[in-house]
Amino acid sequence: MTMMAYDTTNISESEYARKQKEIFAVVKELKALGADLDMGIPQLVVIGGQSAGKSSLVEAVTGINVPRDSGTCTRCPMECTIEASSDNTWSCQVSLRRSTRDLSGSLEYGTTHELQFSPLLLSKNDVEIWLRRAQTAILSPHVSETTFKDMDYEQLKDHTESDPHILKFSKDIVVVDIQDPEGMALSFVDVPGLIQNEEDEIINVVQTLVEEQIQPENAIILVTIPASDDLENQQAASQGVVTKPDTLTRGASGARKKWLDIIQGRAHKLHHGYYVVKLPEDDERAKNLSRQDLTQRAWKFFSETEPWRTLLRSRRLGIPNLISDLSELLMKITQESLPGLKEEVENRLAECSYQIDALPEEIRTDPTSEILGRISGFCTELQGEVYGHNEDKSFVHQNRASFKEFKLKIRETAPDFRPVVDSTQSSAAPEYEYDRLDLDIPRPVTYCLPPMDLRAVRLVIEESTGWELPHHIPYEATRRLIQRSINLWKTPSHTCFDQISYILNTSVNDKIAKHFGQFPLLEQHLGSMIRNEIAEFARHARRAMVDVLEREDSPYLTQNNHDYESARENWLKEYKKKFRRADEIPARTSASFADIAVEEPRLRADDYEEEIVVMADVCAYFQVAYKRIIDHVPMTIQRDLNQLTADGIQKRLVANLRLTDPDSSQRLYDLCAEDPAVKADRERLGNNWTQLESFKAMLDNFMH
């Protein structure tokens, strides 16, 4: 009988083995530090459905016994690393690798930690129970892992069946490190078998778990396929391992030919091809046969059975060939991926650095100095905004826009006098050459008061006449007509004040968040204090504005006689000109039944001299008062609201801190407690940075 030939040289003594051991050690350390799979770390993943011989394959490759139960027994990934030991001593170490995941299920940097779970095991017989303990600990994150270290089989089973909080599956990993003098360097991840007879939610959890492990583009996906299965139903893989080759009966010639075509690459091609392995039966496992005995038995089967005997020289049969080729393939892919992995780490370091720089600066002084410094910064920026010293002038622009709107509203309160007897004959207000109160007033001018013609003004004069002598125009008529406009100034003034107050408060709120937002308690405390102080400034400022408005009440007076007389003279000219022009229009005629035209008498300017004078007096005074109010109200708001707030708030804030109180230090320290979310981000990013720096240093040392 021809024996299967494979190299028995102690591979741990070769240069290749040394390099291989170093590379696998780097990858293992990266994973232990939390390097996630989307960084492109190559790995070998063993997948397969239930009863596909996956557990038997893992045992044959590792030389250890894994838990076997009816149904699904692998409920979390198991990462196995086998190294060829140089001192002829076999040992095994079982560890737990736990990670924190975000809401999407992705790994968070800085949260992966690997914990040694078992003692150093020197007997293969001790491994299975420790694997059961480790998996139960992984599935019970709510229980301390030390609880399971002394449990026996029955206790583990009872816990699994009775604990309502135990997980059915987990993405956390049981890590198995084996030192084997007969072993060949290899590392792989065994994932739970794909299940069918479970709830959809559980099936999806397992599917997601498997997909996460096989997501790297350079992952080697090793799928176990029973020889009796239909290959058409198998999922995508890069390498196939055909198990249970003895299930092909002598009469299954079609199936034997199909598998021969597959193994020889003529059908169902995979990137790394297929291997066929003969795994131990239950009775053989019970005999505790050595690895060499099992290899010889498998070789005997292949050499005596069709179609496998035709493949003896193909290196596609048996566990030794599978392990040797997988080890070499994983070594090659890992070595090729290291430069890309290093570049990915550097990119992530740059992104992490950017995120750290974007965080608010961490407090490095005593709380009192920190708070006073932030108050000073807040007040300085507010002053710069109010006085227009900051580069950003948007605050000033918004204020100017509100003041301009105020001016237009005041202009609309001007009297709309029509120097005609009946204003109903003309729907539009006449244009006057002298009516140029402002060049930026839109034309035509809008009035909020109803028009008044000569008859309407005469009626006001008549109603205002008391014991005056003939030919005396009562001042009361002029006062009444002026008052009609002045009384309308309160609403646009208060509207303007409210607009400026809103602009100020919006700016202040932005600055509160900017200067104090890093510390939520401080932001809440000082924010409330600042808003109360601004409300107090606003009350005084509104009172000052009301004083300005009340100064415009009767009696109506001005020291600006020059402007008043000039305006009065010009309005007289304008009104008389318009009146004469109206009088020059052809006289209205009416026809009698005899069609005889009767011409109405022409009007004379003297007939309405008093009315035109009153019109001119009222418009002249409005013009002088208008120029006064459109400056006084905005200037009062700017000074008494904006400027007094910006200039006085710092002193009030510092006083309200009560720095001389005995408890001030502790109180200010408590106010400087950082936002928990920012603190968590700072800690998370700091851990990320530390971890990524460790990755980079490790890769730099290895690649140079």
Q: What is the pLDDT of residues 381-397, one digit of tens each?
A: 999 999 999 999 999 99
What's the rounded Cα separation, in Å, for the pair 637 and 129?
82
Q: How many residues appear in the chain?
A: 704
How many C-beta atoms lie closer than 10 Å to residue 506's C-beta? 12
CATH superfamily of 367-590+603-657: Dynamin, middle domain (1.20.120.1240)
Contact at 8 Å (CB) between 539 and 497?
no
pLDDT of residue 654 exceeding 80, the answer is yes
Residue 240, classified by CB atoms within 10 Å of its CB into exposed (0-12), middle (13-18) or buried (19+), is buried
What's the rounded Cα separation, in Å, for the pair 158 and 156?
5
pLDDT tens, residue by residue, 39-62: 767 888 998 877 778 888 898 899
Q: Which two tokens stand for residue 626?
A: 């208008």
Chain mean pLDDT for the chain: 85
Q: Which two tokens stand for residue 144?
A: 């301390």
What's the rounded Cα separation, in Å, for the pair 365 and 223?
60
What's the rounded Cα separation, in Å, for the pair 140 and 148?
10
What's the rounded Cα separation, in Å, for the pair 615 and 622?
11
Confidence of residue 403 (pLDDT cuts 50, 70, 90): very high
Q: Which residue has the higher pLDDT, 260 or 583?
A: 260
Residue 695, classified by CB atoms within 10 Å of its CB into exposed (0-12), middle (13-18) or buried (19+), is buried
Confidence of residue 1 (pLDDT cuts 50, 70, 90): very low
- What's the sign of the alpha-carbon dihedral 515, 519, 524, 529? negative
pLDDT of residue 598 exceeding 50, the answer is no
Confidence of residue 103 (pLDDT cuts 50, 70, 90): very low
Q: Which two tokens stand for residue 349?
A: 């370091």
pTM comes to 0.60
Q: Give the residues across from 186 on adjacent strands.
A: 82
Q: Which residue has the higher pLDDT, 252 or 308?
A: 308
What's the rounded Cα separation, in Å, for the pair 154 and 143?
18
